[in-house]
Chain A
């Protein structure tokens, strides 16, 4: 089946099987920042933005998002760059496998929530598991990114 996706502001056409998941379509087409972590929608590693909202691309059929907008980390490079400065200062990046997905979710949260509390930030990002950092460093970095108006 033919599917048109607006990926990172560029229309792309893909031929996919009906049963193919978005994560696989993207990876097959060299969006290597989209990764699989768990197969059960539990870990958040495969998160992309669909029409601006974070979704697990491992569980969305590509045909179901025909004519929708998909954003991967390549689509928000400036924000990722900025967020990574805050992560760097807090020493909050370790293995980095989940960081593009976390950055996308943080970016979506920034647009969706106004002045979120620490608890709201945790709740919004809870689906992005991290096995490396213990979370607290990440949260300090994210908090300072949200407060950074530069």
Chain B
């Protein structure tokens, strides 16, 4: 392989470091109307009265929008394929506000100052309602968060708003209760995971203008430009043909930009006034009024024979979707479907639970999406079981985990909101990942703890994980490649580059198939007018789904070029050999260069544009696997934790771009460590977000990360482009359980609630001391 699996700098890194224009706000028209949103100070209230007269009269104010300006069309902002598995439970603006930060009204004016002045002039009278802030009491609570009659689900998802239930699901393979009764050893533990903020550095941003064809052109910092086009059309009643969505460079997404946030407002304002408009979320708005990760309560029961064969797993989850049900069902199902198949030799497995509404900032898509929550519970439970069995936790995993060529019945039963897809693990190098990870971390020498002094102790811990590669039969990607004169190519993809490097790796895939160099493939991504459709950058789908689309396209274009070469050389297509530069007739040995061929068909003879579009939709979702090992030091008195090293050994098939793949794993590991150690979305008792800025919401800094060691297993997935599986999310799954297991190995306490702050460890140690006395 020449272009793929080689170290290739990203196609855009240099220009971006040199400061070239590229991000959404860089493209806002200079005379844009500024849009600001008034946000609810109450977690739950009805707008009794809203008087915008004085604000509308203020010089420089163009529009003041309230719920009365919008048709009563419920939709979901989730940014998923259609029909969505998320309930249609949101209005652009509504008479009810359901969390602190929910939209009350919007102002468009010629400057930010005038917007703010106008917002001060809007008079709002609220009927303050009792908020529902504890997700464990939400189900069947007398306070109902979504009483409105118009909201609905698109297909059966367990949506029962009268019960405050956004979604529900259950499934069982075998008979879990009987299997558990037959076990020699059984454990039960309940785990809690917290909300986490994405904190991408570019805030949510969108702008709009009407172009000279009288069409609405939206620039948006989004992961899903094609879904935005559809959802705006549906919710605002603008014909889809009138809308163009351009995604320029995106400054990080991590799932937080899968959904729509400012797009509705810029679209409405510009469509209505004909004037350009823009919205840039403040950091507080990003924290308070976009999304965070679904907090969950996960109860795990597990049973095994005394020799360590795991016979039954029972997982029940209660998930908090906050005020709206975006990704409610799917995140929760992934906590089972991309977690439980890891131990596929069980006689019985059960998964079920509910997703409930509360008056918190809505939860939504976030890298790891259910898997990190489920993995924390499962992989902590495995260590608990190993301890009870008196077994080495790695041996217990090795005895019970998924192996190459095997399957799990769960794949066929559970998908994302729908039925799943049966599949065999054609690649699964978990056994290698475990073995190699053990070596790299020095497990034999360090497990369970080492270098203990009076003040400090070091320890190791580990966990394994799996993910998916797109959603089979749902996620679709498409690409167009055209041949230019001079023999270079344009690659147009719907796939959404959001900083993860998809433009680069898709270019590499095209270059590999066309046997050329990355420099000769010019990539352009995500413009609904110019590029073919793609569902978007989510669900670890880009490398596998969009990559396969690019590969299909390149293959077809190659064939089309061969047809032309055969015509020019006067031979049969099957006799043409192509090495990326030259077409050769194997009979006559006549040849023509790609450059001459492309120039000829462009300018001089039988002129035509060679351009091919092809698509791909997955029929399976080959999981990447990994083993994560942490080496850490704990202060035995203050309980501060220092991460010394985090070893990741990953089976993601072929790494299309080894360094970018490493960057995906390491970035995800650090986000996972952030969730494990520091990051916590916190509210006051009255439901106001307090972690609403970067002084209070802390993510890992470079001083907090001492070392990361990342390796890839030698693996080739036949169904993936050049053997690749996904790598975008897998890295985030293991840190919570691996660190929790290491803390147990260091101090003998079991942390069941994230994050593992020194204070929480201290409290747990107090309990332990009390028990020991």
Contact = CB atoms under 8 A, between A and B. Distances in A.
**Is A in direct contact with B (CB under 8 Å) within the complex?**
yes
Interface of A: 32-33, 35-40, 42-43, 45, 72-74, 77, 80-81, 83-85, 87-100, 103, 122-123, 125-126, 128-139
Counting from the closest, the 8 A-B pairs by CB-CB distance are A91-B659, A88-B9, A95-B499, A33-B19, A97-B251, A96-B16, A134-B666, A42-B694
B702 A139 contact: yes
A97 B707 CA distance: 24
Contacts of A73: 17-19
Contacts of B499: 94-97, 132
Nearest to B14: A84
B667 A132 contact: yes
B663 A91 contact: yes
A72 B20 CA distance: 12
A95 B7 CA distance: 18
A101 to B, nearest CB: 9
Contact of A91 (B10, B12, B707, B708): B10
Contacts of B337: none
A146 to B, nearest CB: 15
A43 to B, nearest CB: 6
B666 A136 contact: yes
B610 to A, nearest CB: 31
Contacts of A39: 282-284, 693
Contacts of B18: 73, 77, 80-81, 84, 100
Interface string B2-35: 0000010110111011111111011000000000
Contact of B659 (A32, A45, A90): A90
Contacts of B694: 38, 40, 42-43, 129
B693 A38 contact: yes
Contact of B667 (A94, A98, A125): A94
Contact of B23 (A97, A103, A137): A97
Interface of B: 7, 9-10, 12-14, 16-23, 25-26, 198-203, 249-252, 254, 280, 282-284, 498-501, 657-663, 665-671, 693-695, 699, 701-703, 705, 707-708
Given A40-B693, A42-B693, A91-B662, 19 more contacts: A36-B203, A36-B280, A37-B202, A38-B283, A38-B693, A40-B694, A40-B695, A74-B19, A81-B18, A91-B659, A93-B17, A95-B202, A96-B12, A97-B252, A103-B17, A126-B703, A132-B252, A134-B669, A137-B662
Contacts of A43: 201, 694
Nearest to A102: B17
Contacts of B658: 91
A137 B666 contact: yes
B19 A131 contact: no
20 contacts: A33-B20, A40-B694, A40-B695, A42-B695, A73-B18, A85-B14, A87-B9, A87-B17, A89-B9, A90-B659, A91-B658, A94-B499, A95-B201, A96-B12, A96-B22, A132-B499, A133-B666, A134-B663, A134-B670, A136-B705
Given A38-B283, A93-B10, A80 B19 contact: yes
A93 B701 CA distance: 17
Given A83-B17, A123-B703, A37 B203 contact: yes
B659 A137 contact: yes
A35 B23 contact: yes
Given A93-B16, A93-B17, A134-B663, A122 B702 contact: yes
B657 A131 contact: no
Given A45-B201, A91-B662, A133-B667, A80 B693 contact: no
Given A84-B18, A90-B659, A129 B254 contact: no
